[in-house]
Amino acid sequence: MERKTKQLIFASVVVSALWLAPTPSQAAEWKLGMSHPQIKEVQTLLKAKGFFTYSTATGYFGTMTETAVKKFQASVRLPVTGVVDAKTYAALKAAAANQKTSTNPSAKTKPDTVATEWKVGASGEAVKTLQERLKALGYFTYSQVTGYFGQATAEAVKKFQKDVGLAPTGIADRLTIAKLEEALAKKTKPAILLTIGASGEQVKAVQTKLKALGHFTYPEVTGYFGQATAEAVKKFQASVQLPATGIVDDDTYTRLLQAPKTFDPMELVADAAPLLGKPYVWGGQTPDGFDCSGLIVYLFQKQGITLPRTVVAMWTAGVSVDAPTVGDVVFFQTEGDTVSHAGIYIGNNQFLHSGSSTGVTISAFNSPYWSARYVGAKRYW
């Protein structure tokens, strides 16, 4: 009896769960910042209608997806919210079904025509390519390449046409496209264009450099160009007097790579921690083994600072400080008549160094042995 009761309860729970499960028309709302497999489906549907112009459906709801949703909602006279609610999702599915019917070979359709000019109101991959080329030449300054031919695109076309001696109509006809191709061919190197939605190793390199400069504060380098990356790019651009577009173009990329890294003494100490216990190797400057100056050169190099290779040369190069703080190099005279040993001060009267008998270790700066041989401290940042 007890077993039958449990089976009955279990069956009731299953039936209730099935009854309460959402149908496609009851899909959850998808909006900016979310990730989900169903968002990928939404992007695919939007792409089929020409609204989502990014190369692939990612499953991440970024600003490009939001813009595409708004355009679709406007086209079907839904409230333009940029949020995929149940009504928007249903309309998307219906539009996709209609498209399948219209492309059925048995249906009567007009022959396809190839566009020979693009103007305000046009959309699709061809417009996206046009915007990318105008941006590469410095004419299209809108924050995103959208694939939609709006007023910003028309103005960019007009400026280009005027510069190359064409009538500034704002319409990208065949002659304008030919002139664009000609202008691009004259560029000696390909344009770098990274914006929201981009991904890959180049984005990782940009995020890594922005993080080193203190602009990119997201905890991880992801390789995906999202809103956090765009904001970091804007901060960097403002800091070097470039237009704060949030887009990595040629000028931004070049200035970013050339920008000196902001020195963080705590990063220096953090980089040193895994090296504790590494052996002393005369002339060594790798994790296989270090001498005292080799360890210092190695750690500072990781922070983008190049130091002289020998202790004596380091002593003559730095700026003297009265009392060392974290990241300063402390010098000692252990033999001869000049400095012969050095380490990195890490705070709390301790310094990191590679001793001939200890390897990489931490010693007390104020111990009788080291305090008696202390010569001074230098700063290189």
Q: Any idea which residues carry the catalytic annotation?
A: 292, 341, 353
Q: What secondary structure letter does DSSP report for 168?
A: -
Among candidates 347, 375, 349, 374, which has minimal Cα distance to 265?
A: 347
Q: What secondary structure letter does DSSP report for 22?
A: P
Quickly list H helices, 137-225.
151-163, 174-186, 201-212
Q: Please answer whether residues 225 and 238 qualify as being in contact, where contact means their C-beta atoms are separated by less than 8 angstroms.
A: no
The residue type found at 167 is A
Among candidates 379, 346, 376, which has minimal Cα distance to 364?
A: 346
Q: Report the C-alpha gap between 166 and 80 in whole angstroms.
A: 38
Distances (CA, A) of 231 to 193, 215, 216: 16, 8, 8
Name the β-bridge partners of 118: 172
Q: Please answer whether residues 38 and 27 qualify as being in contact, where contact means their C-beta atoms are separated by less than 8 angstroms.
A: yes
Q: Please answer whether residues 140 and 134 qualify as being in contact, where contact means their C-beta atoms are separated by less than 8 angstroms.
A: yes
Structure tokens at 357: 């008998």
Q: Report the C-alpha gap between 6 and 28 in whole angstroms.
A: 33
